[in-house]
Structure 1
Amino acid sequence: MASYAHGVPSYAHDFPFDPAYGHTLDDLLGVPAPPAPDDFEDFWRARHAAAREVATEPELGPVEEERDGVRIHGVTYTSVGGVRLGGWLALPAEGPAGHGFVIGHGYGGRQEPGPDVPPPLPGSAAILPCVRGMGSRGLWAGIPDEAAAHVLHGIVSRDTYVIGDCVADLWCAASALRELVPELAEEGAPRLGLLGESFGGGLGALALPWDDRFGAAQLTVPTFGNHPLRLTLPCAGSGESVRAYRREHPEVTGVLRYFDAATAAARVELPTLVAAARFDPSVPPPGQFAVYNALGGVRELQVLSAGHFAYDGLAEEKEELRANRTRFFGEHLGR
């Protein structure tokens, strides 16, 4: 159970830093997004346009599992640079899909569909891609599969940084989903939902402003928010690798400006539910809240006691988030 001193939560832990970073909830709700580079929007719109031109050529594998009203298939598709990726596709066991979701994963990838299936709304289809370098079906020669190294891959330039290509992997997953489930691309069909947690939440925030195929999103403990602040905060996650790299290569701050999830969130106009933690050793909470604070459209916040950390009440908060997610998408995706 958390204890509080002057409004700052604390749990018993062995980290050599404070995973609440001395922030009260009021402090967190005041963390801003950093300003964007002048060509931020041009950069991302060009990346999105290139991804939309990719012939994803999705291939559906046999049913691997059936549960809770969905059949889960293996799936492969092509993303930017000719990279062939894998993942899973969940389809309704009966009838056409009424909604579609793209579901990202955390750093470390996805080894199986896990609790992200079934999707938030009954009768929905969902694609669960493994982005390049990550998870059992995203491995790619030359891209590290370990988070601390993956987050530095290609970081010398905004044009080669792997995070940009991982965002494109989500856009191409959306293309593959709509090709495999054509009713989702029909005129009058609801727009897609996007879900992402941690690494996937940061990628989601970067992906959303430029793609009108998405109609609502839910981001849990999103990373990559407010890089200038993150670089000052020790952590146990991938951000620590970036902090160490920046000490030897201060010029990397110019690259990171293009991959700031809070900067991108300021351009997100679709309804977005954010679950942000007050105590998190892997993704500093100020960065998570910066993403929520910056959102430009309808937004909703669920405050979590902690993220990337086991605590009393975790199961109850997860169940509350599941219920909120279902309600939120039901309200904002429509039919």
Structure 2
Amino acid sequence: MPRFDLAPAELRAYRPEIAEPADFDEFWRTTLAESRALATPPTLTKIDSPLTLVDVYDVKFSGFGGDRVSGWFIVPAGATAPLPTIVEYLGYGGGRGLPHERLGWAVAGYAWFLMDTRGQGSGWGAGGDTPDPHGTGASSPGFMTRGIHDPAEYYYRRVFTDAALAVDAVRSLDAVDESRVAVTGISQGGGIAIAAAGLSEGLVAAMPDVPFLCHFERAVGFTDRDPYNEVVRYLSVHRDASERVLRTLSYFDGANFALRATAPALFSVALLDPICPPSTVYAAANRWGVGAEVVEYAFNEHEGGQAVQWQRQAEWLAARLAAPVE
């Protein structure tokens, strides 16, 4: 893939105007309050596993509307002291899969929680366990246009609420040091992590990796790749709906959540990425509330840094946790 977006120097300074609804904060305050009022304590069930160096728990917690959402919670075997904790969100179409698929954070000494993404889990990996019981109006195949006619009905309202309540649930667990919780994710997971960082207080860090769900006005139509192209296909049929659709998306734009983030962030971006174009990533990173560091992969597409980026995240987070509290 040849370089197709802005030049690197332009990307690093890219701060576009982003549409933001006047009631953005009230919309999310009300949304979270309604679901928190319905929440019940998370349940943990320890499972038998061949993984002898970690303890594995099947978790169910209350998400949007009180819906039960699945997750994995994995800690070093026998851990008793409260641990710094990573909450991770998944890429588009994937489910939580099997616990042995992702062990890096737990074997590095962290408690680690992986949130299943409601309604997803049949696109790749080993499957998901969380249904999305809420209906939508007309939509194109995929998740991007489900309920897109109305912010209150939009699919990602439910997912982002799940993400914020996952942080709540994790903080209630005995093995978790609630003052040292970080969020992370790749692609869609990175976009969800940005939303969680904008909706949650007191996080120690956010680590969005080649994040999706940012700067919709540019992304939709700028790239011909899914998932953004799901919106293009929808609008090619619903020809008079573009204003309403873009208004809905403005409530879910990572660039708007970035302004509200209070935790330090380490982003990654791939400069040849045709799925999450680099300008859309920088639109969020450059608006981050307390400033963000960005790692660039100049010759990678959407795979980004993969294991190299995880190593950088681990080193960066360890340095932050070792720094004295200001």
Corresponding residue number in structure 2 for 1:100:
85
Whether the 8 Å contact between 2:202 and 2:263 is mirrored in structure 1 is: no
User: Partner of 1:228 in structure 2?
Assistant: 217
Q: Do the aligned partners of 2:89 and 2:114 also contact (CA within 8 Å) in 1?
A: yes
Secondary structure at the residue paired with 2:261?
coil
Instruction: Show CA shifts across 1:90-115 (max 9, x none).
Output: 12213224211210000012223465
Alpha-carbon separation, structure 1, partners of 2:159 and 2:109: 28
Q: Hey, what does 2:6 align to over in structure 1?
A: 23
Q: 1:121–1:276: structure 2 CA closer, same or farther, 3 Å change rule?
A: farther
Give 1:55's aligned residue: 39
CA distance in 2, matches of 1:267, 1:81: 24
- For 1:259, what is the secondary structure of its paired residue? coil
1:230-245 to 2 correspondences below 5 Å: 230-245=219-234
Of 235-244 and 108-117, deviating more is 108-117
Equivalent runs, 1:113-262 vs 2, <5 Å: 113=99, 116-119=102-105, 122-135=108-121, 136-141=128-133, 148-181=141-174, 183-185=176-178, 190-247=179-236, 248=238, 249-250=241-242, 251-262=244-255
Deviation at 1:142, TM superposition (A): 5.3
List gaps (5 residues or longer) in structure 1. Answer: 1-8, 11-19
The alignment status of 1:280 with 2:273, answered yes or no, reads yes
Residues 88 and 184, structure 2, Cα contact 8 Å, conserved in 1: yes
Seen in structure 2, the aligned counterparts of structure 1 residues 271 and 241 have a Cα distance that, compared at 3 Å, is same
> Secondary structure at the residue paired with 1:232?
helix
| CA displacement, residues 132-151 of structure 1 (integer Å, 9 cap, x when unaligned) | 1122112334569x994212
Identical counterparts, % of pairs: 25
CA distance in 1, matches of 2:100, 2:252: 28
1:302 has 2:288 as partner: no
Contact 2:69 2:130 in 1 (8 A): yes
Structure 1 residue 298, shift from structure 2 partner: 3.7
Q: Is the 8 A contact 1:132 1:143 kept in 2?
A: no
SS across alignment from 1:269:
coil
Cα pair distance change 1:296/1:66, threshold 3 Å:
farther
Aligned CA distance change for structure 1 residues 210 and 284 (closer, same or farther; 3 Å): same
Which of 39, 46, 51 is equivalent to 2:23?
39
The structure 1 residue matched to 2:306, chosen from 315, 318, 321, is: 318
- Which of 283, 289, 304 does residue 290 from structure 1 map onto? 283
Q: 1:223 to 1:216 in 2, by over 3 A?
A: same
Number of residue pairs the alignment of both structures matches: 307
Cα deviation for residue 253 of structure 1 reads 1.0
Q: Residue 123 of structure 1 aligns to which amino acid in structure 2?
A: G
- Distance change >3 Å, CA 32–CA 147, structure 1 → 2: farther
Matched to 1:36, the amino acid is E
Contact 2:268 2:295 in 1 (8 A): yes
Q: CA deviation at 1:23?
A: 2.6
**Mean CA deviation greater in 107-116 or 253-262:** 107-116
Higher relative contact order (CA 8 A, sep 6+): 1
Q: Which residue of 1 aligns with 2:74?
A: 90
Match of 2:257 in 1: 264
What RMSD in Å do the two structures reach over aligned CA positions? 2.6
Distance in 2 between residues matched to 1:107 and 1:41, nearest whole Å: 26
**Distance change (3 Å), C-alpha of 1:232 and 1:68:** farther
How far, CA to CA, are the matches of 1:218 and 1:62 in structure 2? 28
Please name the residue that 2:124 is paired with.
none
Unaligned runs of 5+ in 2: 122-127
Q: 1:112 & 1:308 partners in 2: Cα distance?
A: 24
Question: Which segment is superposed worse, 109-118 or 33-42?
Answer: 109-118
Partners of 2:140 and 2:197 lie apart in 1 by: 23
Task: Tell me by how many angstroms 1:118 deviates.
Answer: 3.1
Going from structure 1 to structure 2, the CA distance change for 1:55 and 1:216 (only over 3 Å counts) comes to: same
Larger mean CA deviation between 110-119 and 248-257 belongs to 110-119
Q: CA deviation at 1:278?
A: 0.6
TM-score, normalised to structure 1's length? 0.82
